[in-house]
Structure 1
Amino acid sequence: MSGPDAHRLDGRVALVTGAGRGIGAAIAATLAGYGATVALADLLPDAEWDLPELTGAGHTRHRVDVRSTESCRALVAEVLAAHGRLDHLVNNAGIVRRGPAATMTERDFADVVDVNLTGTFRMSQAAHPALRASDGASVVNLGSTNGRVAVPDSLGYCVSKAGVMHMARVLALEWAPDGIRVNAVGPTIVPTAMTADVRADDAYMRDKMASIPLGRMARPEDVAHTVAFLLGPAAAMTTGQTIFVDGGVTVR
């Protein structure tokens, strides 16, 4: 497939975790714009979802707690019941806890790793049988430049994001015989609720902007379009890779 059609996802069903707002909401809207039917999943209460209008019809909302294997499996069962298939998975659900490593509580560290890293494993494992039944299945994990570049006061987040990017490589190798591609994206700072605290810190932002050669934050849409590319047929020979959506942070 070539030309504009290589980027289309018509007739495909994509599941996005952490889809209630921020990057996840942008990914869901972008995939819908490319023709996918999107199953949006989040732990947020309904009143806290902040979604743009989605193109097309048939999209569904679901509740998932990626800290629970049972919840992940139930989500996949719901998606299959609603749509009859699952072709793409975006592991976007994530949290952050900031603070110096020397004083960070074990609970804060463990919570971040449990959601971001182990949650990605749980969700991927739960989706594997359905993805294996699809023709041209693919997975994208949400990593971060923090998984490549050491950043103070965010040990759990950095370690978890390094883990999900390496997980993409391992799963790509193991699941290639099943016809499932697995990749990751690694954004720099994105203006979402998760980064509101650091964006309010002028000193932090001066340093952060100085580290980005293109001189701006990544927009949610920048990340979403990269995810859509990796999921779709235009990336049919791309697996086990991380694309950094970072304005050049990691080229240094």
Structure 2
Amino acid sequence: MSERTGDPNRFDGRVALVTGAARGIGARIAATLAVRGATVAQADVVEPDRWAADELSAPHSRHVVDVRSAASCADLVAAVLDRHGRLDLLVNNAGVVRRGPAATMSEQDFTDVLDVNLTGTFRMCRAAYPALRAGGGSVVNIGSTNGHIAVLDTLGYCVSKAGVMHMARVLALEWAPDRIRVNAVGPTIVPTDMTSDLRDDPDYLAAKLATIPLGRMAGEQDVANAVAFLLSDAAAMTTGQTVFVDGGVTIH
């Protein structure tokens, strides 16, 4: 529980690292964890002066990371430990998408998506493992409903998100003796820059919303709330699970 309040939903005294935190879902997750008491290290591939999100004030920090590089991931963890002294929580949110029919998709587009979304998540988990093991940590990978159901023209993205959700199960099993919990969150479509092209197509959006029983897109805060729950002591007996923040998409 929180070192200061005893509230299992709080993160006082803990340090969280969120990748892909320059904007969108990652920025909202970082802000949510900060509100709940965590010291947050935000990381993204773009330089901090190009971030869209409002900067969290000290003691929070901003870092540059390229999850396509094992050395960059290791350097990030070292920088967080140097700055904050510990690492308790990891959110693997960095991700990209390439759309197009599988038959005409280039190998480069396919492997680029896997390198960031899937292998990048592995690199960050591996780099963070020693620090997380030191105190018994918690990890959340950002998956997608696309990793559970088949979606046209997004082969690499679908496969990568299926992978990060299954990675959570495998790591949960391997790391349970180290008191590290690993879970995933799988959102449906969220109104972010990544989905702007889809949302600009009224026919697509109407068809997409028709598949969501609750009838709306997931908000960034919906996703952040689910991530915060899984990271927190309120979910102390939850590991290896994927929580779908999807308004019911995956139940039918």
TM-score (norm 2): 0.97
Say whether the 8 Å CA contact 2:42–2:62 is kept in structure 1.
yes
The 5-angstrom pairing of residues 85-234 of structure 1 reads 85-135=86-136, 137-234=137-234
Unaligned ranges ≥5, structure 2: none
Whole-angstrom CA distance in 2 between matches of 1:59 and 1:75: 14
Q: Matched residues, percent identical?
A: 72
Give the 3-state SS of the residue equivalent to 2:122 in structure 1. helix
Q: CA deviation at 1:203?
A: 1.4
Question: Shift of residue 44 of structure 1?
Answer: 1.5
The answer to whether the Cα contact below 8 Å between 1:25 and 1:51 also exists between their aligned partners in 2 is yes
> Structure 1 pair 171/100, CA: closer, same or farther in 2 (3 Å)?
same
Structure 2 letter corresponding to 1:84: G
CA-based RMSD of the aligned residues comes to: 1.4
Give the drift of 1:220. Answer: 0.4
The number of residues matched between the two structures is: 250
3-state SS of paired residue (2:7): helix
Q: Deviations along 1:128-162, whole A, 9 cap, x unmatched?
A: 00000014x10000000000010000000000000
Q: Are 1:29 and 1:52, in contact at CA under 8 Å, matched by a contact in 2?
A: no
- Check if 1:81 corresponds to 2:85: no
2-structure distance, mates of 1:199, 1:52: 24
Report deviation, 1:4: 7.9
SS at match of 1:5: coil
Query: Aligned AA for 1:208?
Result: K
Structure 1 runs of 4+ aligned residues shifted over 6 Å read none
Matches of 1:204 and 1:76 in 2, distance apart?
40
| 1:22 paired residue number | 24
* Greater mean alpha carbon deviation, residues 237-246 or residues 45-54: 45-54
> One-letter code of the match for 2:222?
D
Are the aligned partners of 1:18 and 1:43 in contact in 2 as well (CA < 8 Å)?
yes
Give the TM-score normalised by structure 1: 0.97
The answer (yes or no) to whether the contact 1:29–1:53 under 8 Å persists in 2 is no
What 5-or-longer segments of structure 1 have no aligned partner?
none
Of the candidates 33, 36, 40, which is equivalent to residue 34 of structure 1? 36
Q: CA deviation at 1:246?
A: 0.3
CA shift for structure 1 position 48: 2.7
Secondary structure at the counterpart of residue 8 of structure 2: helix
